[in-house]
């Protein structure tokens, strides 16, 4: 539970950073016309996600919950439509929004220049930092640096920002790509890979659920990035709606409440990646 509280505090602190730099003004949020927004399916907001990235998205039974799902629900409520969640692989979700098969992707999506070339993003709603997870009893990596990852077998989630960063910035022996972090955790515990590179908040929960088998390397973050909702390129109306809702959530303090609520959920109730 200590680690879960750390996750809540870390996420809340990151969100506070955006509170002083909201991209959409109060006047703009009050005047935005949600009736101009068209969705893929009438009466629905279809969100693509990958439900193995707690506390952002995770499964409780067969229901997807998490920080991103609460944000998506708030957007659907503002549009006056029903939220439909489609759970899929992370890279499949990003492809779906580019092809117009889903309205948005809310899945802890990091903003990058490469992605901005093929999709649009809402305003950012949280800063994140990526860390290195290792075996607690026999760590194969001792420093959270690109140099220390040279010659190592590194686990990442396929298609996410850590996958891109590791590929571009390290001289890894191999990059092992997973659709779910729980698979990477099992391989790390069994000595099949040397480490996992992933976002700090889900890393804390992954370590918490490992019964002492895994730990996060101490020290500075390996790298930092920011999360936003992904939108089909050129869909200015949907971007306006997402920006408006996210700004309101941050300004009202509700975003902090959402993050705290999901970061306090017991890992035993979630399906971690």
Question: pLDDT by residue (tens digit) across 233-244?
Answer: 999 999 999 999
Q: Could you say which of 223, 238, 254 is where a domain stops?
A: 223
Q: 């949600």: which residue's tokens?
A: 34
Positive or negative CA dihedral for 173, 179, 182, 186? Answer: negative
Residues 104 and 16 in one domain: yes
Positive or negative CA dihedral for 16, 20, 22, 28? Answer: positive
- Segment 220-237, tens digit of pLDDT: 999 998 999 999 999 999
In this predicted structure, what is the pLDDT of residue 11?
54
Our count of domains for the chain comes to: 2
CA distance 44 to 54: 25
In this predicted structure, what is the pLDDT of residue 138?
95
- The pLDDT-based confidence of 260 (bands split at 50, 70, 90) is confident
Crossing angle for the helix pair 181-189 and 200-208, to the nearest 10 degrees: 50
Which domain covers residue 115, as residue numbers?
Answer: 2-127+226-269
Residues 236 and 247 in one domain: yes
Within 10 angstroms of residue 158's Cβ, the number of other Cβ atoms is 16
CA distance 238 to 267: 33
DSSP assigned state of 212: T
CA distance 207 to 135: 10
- Segment 140-180, tens digit of pLDDT: 999 999 999 999 999 999 888 899 999 999 999 999 999 88
Name, in order, each residue with C-beta under 8 angstroms of 86's C-beta and a sequence gap of 6 or more: 46, 47, 48, 49, 93, 96, 102
CA distance 190 to 81: 46
Token readout for 111 is: 């903003």
* 3-class secondary-structure state, position 209: coil
Residues 122 and 240 in one domain: yes
First-residue to last-residue Cα distance in the chain: 18
**55 vs 234, higher pLDDT:** 234
In this predicted structure, what is the pLDDT of residue 205?
86
Residues 106 and 30 in one domain: yes
**27 vs 61, higher pLDDT:** 61
CATH code for position 29: 3.40.190.10
pLDDT for 22 beyond 50? no
* 3-class secondary-structure state, position 110: strand
**252 vs 52, higher pLDDT:** 252
Residues 217 and 166 in one domain: yes
Percent of the chain with pLDDT over 90: 74
Residues 48 and 121 in one domain: yes
Residues 55 and 164 in one domain: no
Q: 146, 233 in Cβ contact below 8 A?
A: no
Mean pLDDT of the chain: 88
211: left (phi over 0), alpha (psi -120 to 50) or beta: left
In this predicted structure, what is the pLDDT of residue 221?
92
Residues 137 and 219 in one domain: yes
CA distance 205 to 116: 29
- The pLDDT-based confidence of 19 (bands split at 50, 70, 90) is very low
Residues 215 and 238 in one domain: no
Residues 40 and 89 in one domain: yes
> Average pLDDT of 61-66?
95
Q: 């890393």: which residue's tokens?
A: 203
DSSP assigned state of 222: S
Residues 15 and 118 in one domain: yes
- Segment 197-218, tens digit of pLDDT: 999 988 998 999 899 999 999 9
Name, in order, each residue with C-beta under 8 angstroms of 224's C-beta and a sequence gap of 6 or more: 127, 128, 129, 130
Residues 245 and 121 in one domain: yes
What size, in residues, is the chain?
Answer: 273
- The pLDDT-based confidence of 265 (bands split at 50, 70, 90) is low
């Amino acid at each position: 539970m200590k680690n879960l509280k750390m996750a809540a505090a870390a996420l809340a602190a990151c969100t506070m950073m955006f509170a002083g730099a909201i991209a959409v003004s109060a006047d703009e949020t009050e005047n935005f016309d949600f009736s101009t927004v068209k969705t893929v399916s009438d009466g629905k907001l279809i969100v693509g996600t990958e439900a193995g990235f707690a506390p952002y998205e995770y499964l409780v039974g067969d229901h997807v919950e998490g920080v991103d799902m609460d944000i998506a629900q708030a957007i659907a409520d503002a549009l006056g439509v029903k939220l439909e969640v489609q759970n899929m692989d992370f890279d499949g979700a990003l492809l779906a929004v580019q092809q117009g098969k889903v309205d948005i992707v809310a899945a802890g999506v990091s903003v990058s220049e490469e992605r901005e070339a093929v999709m649009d993003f809402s305003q950012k709603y949280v800063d994140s930092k990526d860390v290195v997870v290792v075996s607690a009893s026999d760590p194969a990596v001792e420093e959270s640096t690109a140099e220390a990852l040279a010659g190592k077998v590194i686990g990442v989630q396929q298609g996410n920002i850590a996958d891109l960063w590791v590929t571009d910035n390290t001289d890894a022996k191999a990059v092992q790509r997973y659709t779910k972090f729980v698979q990477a955790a099992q391989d790390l515990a069994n000595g099949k890979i040397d480490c996992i590179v992933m976002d700090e908040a889900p890393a804390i929960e992954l370590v918490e659920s490992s019964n002492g088998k895994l730990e996060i390397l101490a020290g500075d973050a390996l790298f930092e990035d920011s999360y936003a909702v992904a939108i089909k390129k050129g869909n200015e109306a949907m971007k306006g709606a997402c920006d408006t809702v996210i700004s309101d959530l941050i300004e009202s303090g509700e975003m902090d409440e959402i993050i705290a609520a999901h970061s306090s959920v017991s890992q035993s109730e979630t399906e971690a990646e």
